[in-house]
Amino acid sequence: MSDATDTHCPYCSLQCGMRLKATGPDQPRSLEVLERSDFPVNRGALCGKGQSAPAVLDSAVRLTEPLVRDQASGELVPASWEEALERIAAGIRSAQQSHGLDAVGVFGGGGLTNEKAYSLGKFARIVLRTSQIDYNGRFCMSSAAAAGNRAFGVDRGLPFPMADIARTGCVILVGSNPAETMPPALRYFTELRERGGKLIVIDPRRTRTAELADLHLAPRPGTDLALALGMLHLVVAEARTDEEFIAARTTGWEETRAAAMAHWPEHVERVTGVPVPQLREATRLFCDAEPGAMVLTARGPEQQAKGVDTVSAWINLCLATGRAGRPLSGYGCLTGQGNGQGGREHGQKADQLPGYRMLNDPAARAHVASVWGVDPDSLPGPGRSAYELLDALGGDIRALLLMGSNPVVSAPRATHVEARIKSLDFLAVADVVLSETAALADVVLPVTQWAEETGTMTNLEGRVLLRRRAVDPPDGVRSDLAVLRGLAERLAPELAAGFPPAAEEIFAELRRASAGGKADYSGISYERIEAEDGVFWPCPEGGSPTPRMFLDRFATPDGRAVFTPVSHRPAAEETNPDYPVLLTTGRVLAQYQSGAQTRRTAELNEASPGPYVQLHPELAARVGAAEGDPVAVLSRRGRAVAPARITAGIRPDTVFMPFHWAGEGRANAVTNPALDPISRMPEFKVCAVRVELAT
């Protein structure tokens, strides 16, 4: 293919536009990344991950043939596709015949296209008839999703386009570091300040993003909820509420106000470590901003065992000040994974059906079952959340089909999760590389990548995008859609026709299945996506896209937003003399998620070659660590070792580790799987640890 192809980056939820061009007929798989300045989200800008994305297409670093576990040697050896698919079908049959339908689990990924996510959920529920399906997007924005649903009646990462960020008057950025996690988005915050707007960053570290802020608040990890309540207390005490908006467009304010008044500023300072004058200044900047103001959260406040209540507290602040349901104002979540939004909307989340319908809703079951041509009563009920599913492996879940995820590195309490995976009777993994999880499998299937397939993604704005195939995959590689078709032919041949290998055909069915749901895609087509630079959902058949939600009414039955009264509570695990320091985790600029792909890219490894422990000079002095010394971080669950990076840009009571690496620097060997009671999000962002020199 000599002509350039318009497509999108395979990494984060910005889904930046790019153009790919083959560099010569002798190297049909060698692609050059070109600027695509007409795409409105990134306007041509790309980070190093996007620029280097074609490197993983190289056959030298990716899987190009199926692998099966040799019974004699115990090693993974090459096999034909026929043998590999037969082995998977046999493993699934054996588990279900011996232990029941729910003995087979399915674990998906937030990087799968909408068509793959839809097909995977459908496959689990009508071919396998198992309830045990979830995906790694549970670890992404599930707390924000739950809080958004109960406040607004619907969950969409941003209910407005990214461009609105630059035009508002003030943004509070809570637990997000876009300078490293999604660099092309940083221009919106820079433009905000150039226009005279204010940026407030809340983060226990002085990150690259915090360096750009007008005000940086550095709370103790796990106290974002108290901070939001303290600001709401000041809003009430200083008569800054928007009583007209509250009366006309919300419910539940009286109880919420009473809960906030228990969090007076001096108490909040003791809990969070944020001085009262900074708390007052943040409140003033937010309330005085014109023409509007926004709160944007990310994994910092969301990946906590009280993440839903924490996000609800920030939403309450927006509602109480009339900073929601109006132009250039609102609450939004900066989704992390490339298709974290669409990935859960269409069926691979444990409790959801396509269109963001709930699995326990009889009407939803009837609608989707009619599209699938099955009896609604045959659909299983909701299953376990992601961590709970992984924790059950080897127990009542005996076999697992895994697509597009690497939980050996990315899951909390990862050493335990690795042991559970090893205890399975059978594991099948479909991936583009031999990840740490794939290396444990009985069968590994090599599947196509972003540039080798066509399909849709939904970015953090709710903009449905089209990724076009730019290059042919290597011989021996098939798409995930072909995998599901091949397994359906072996396990339920009467249903196999419902799993076509063509993405556009699947999208046409997805449109029907989503029609009338919260995430209604029925008015979206591949042609419309191309013509409009993406289409914002909801977009019903014959209707218009919705770039800005809630301007007339919220998506609740009565059209009003719902306040939820919340109160601060401690993290699931507090410090004590044995574990006196808090660990928080996150990403770095040159790596992505579990690193399965970016760690195979030379220029990214050169920029970020390995894990590290960031600690304050006071803490370093106490443990006797100098810059670069190997430091051990120990929790009740495990131990991670990495070189020390000493900086005054982190709280003295806190250490930070990036989570992209396996081996002894695996940060998630230490993290706490305590779950939010609503979202079932693990508490990645705070746990009690001990820090010492490694021996």
Give pLDDT, residue 453. Answer: 96
Query: What are 76-122's pLDDT values in tens digits?
Result: 999 999 999 999 999 999 999 999 999 999 999 999 999 999 999 99
- Distance between CA atoms of 186 and 636, rounded to whole angstroms? 37
| Identity of the amino acid at 164 | D
Q: Where are the domains of the chain?
A: 5-57, 67-139+339-536, 142-334, 581-693
Residue 239 Ramachandran class (φ > 0 left, ψ -120 to 50 alpha, else beta): left
Cβ(492)–Cβ(129) below 8 Å: no
Query: What are 174-233's pLDDT values in tens digits?
Result: 999 999 999 999 999 999 999 999 999 999 999 999 999 999 999 999 999 999 999 999
From the list 104, 138, 30, the residue with the least C-alpha distance to 682 is 138
What value, to the nearest 5°, has the Cα angle with vertex 205 and ends 220 and 307?
A: 50
Using 50, 70 and 90 to split pLDDT, how confident is the model at 25?
A: low
Query: What are 319-376's pLDDT values in tens digits?
Result: 999 999 999 999 999 988 989 888 888 989 999 999 999 999 999 999 999 999 999 9
Cβ(38)–Cβ(530) below 8 Å: no
- Distance between CA atoms of 286 and 316, rounded to whole angstroms? 13
Give pLDDT, residue 30. Answer: 80
Mean pLDDT, residues 229-252 taken together = 98
Structure tokens at 344: 């859960």
What value, to the nearest 5°, has the Cα angle with vertex 645 and ends 301 and 51?
A: 70
Give pLDDT, residue 470. Answer: 94
Instruction: Look over the chain and give the mean of its residue pLDDT values, rounded to a whole number.
Output: 96
Give pLDDT, residue 24. Answer: 64
Mean pLDDT, residues 267-295 taken together = 98
CA pseudo-torsion sign 543, 548, 552, 553: positive
**Could you give the maximum distance between any two Cα atoms of the chain, in Å?**
75
What value, to the nearest 5°, has the Cα angle with vertex 396 and ends 395 and 399?
A: 90
Give pLDDT, residue 343. Answer: 87
pLDDT higher for 3 or 213? 213
Structure tokens at 625: 């660590």
- Distance between CA atoms of 211 and 197, rounded to whole angstroms? 16
If you write DSSP's letter for every residue of 253-308 in order, what string do you get?
Answer: HHHHHHHHTTS-HHHHHHHH---HHHHHHHHHHHHH-SS--EEEE-HHHHSSTTHH
From the list 517, 528, 368, 515, the residue with the least C-alpha distance to 464 is 528
Cβ(693)–Cβ(630) below 8 Å: yes
**C-alpha 319: how far from chain center:** 25
- Distance between CA atoms of 63 and 77, rounded to whole angstroms? 12
- Residue 546 has φ and ψ, to the nearest 5°, of -125, 80
Cβ(95)–Cβ(398) below 8 Å: yes
> Which CATH code fits 142-334?
3.40.228.10
Give percent of the chain with pLDDT exceeding 70: 99
CATH 3.40.50.740, domain 67-139+339-536, yes or no = yes
Q: Spell out the CATH class of 581-693.
A: mainly beta
Structure tokens at 655: 């250490």
- Distance between CA atoms of 265 and 277, rounded to whole angstroms? 9
- Distance between CA atoms of 618 and 400, rounded to whole angstroms? 46
Residue 15 Ramachandran class (φ > 0 left, ψ -120 to 50 alpha, else beta): left
- Distance between CA atoms of 598 and 338, rounded to whole angstroms? 14
Give pLDDT, residue 23. Answer: 81
If you write DSSP's letter for every residue of 617-655 in order, what string do you get?
Answer: HHHHHHHT--TT-EEEEE-SS-EEEEEEEE-SSB-TTEE
From the list 49, 37, 1, the residue with the least C-alpha distance to 608 is 49
| Identity of the amino acid at 141 | M
From the list 221, 230, 185, the residue with the least C-alpha distance to 42 is 185
From the list 358, 348, 418, the residue with the least C-alpha distance to 385 is 348
Mean pLDDT, residues 418-427 taken together = 98
- Residue 17 has φ and ψ, to the nearest 5°, of -70, 140
- Side by side, which strands form the sheet with 463-467? 455-458, 463-467, 535-536
Give pLDDT, residue 141. Answer: 87
Cβ(203)–Cβ(209) below 8 Å: yes
592's CB contacts (< 8 A; 6+ apart) are 11, 12, 49, 598, 660
650 has which bridge partners? 205
- Distance between CA atoms of 567 and 310, rounded to whole angstroms? 9
Residue 34: other Cβ atoms inside 10 A = 15
Reply yes or no on whether the pLDDT at 415 is more than 90. yes
Structure tokens at 124: 């689990």
Fold annotation for 5-57: N-terminal domain of TfIIb (2.20.25)
Residue 437: other Cβ atoms inside 10 A = 27
Dihedral of the CA atoms 224, 204, 222, 328 (nearest 10)?
Answer: 30
If you write DSSP's letter for every residue of 545-566 in order, what string do you get?
Answer: --SS-SSS--SSTTS-EE----
Structure tokens at 323: 């900073």
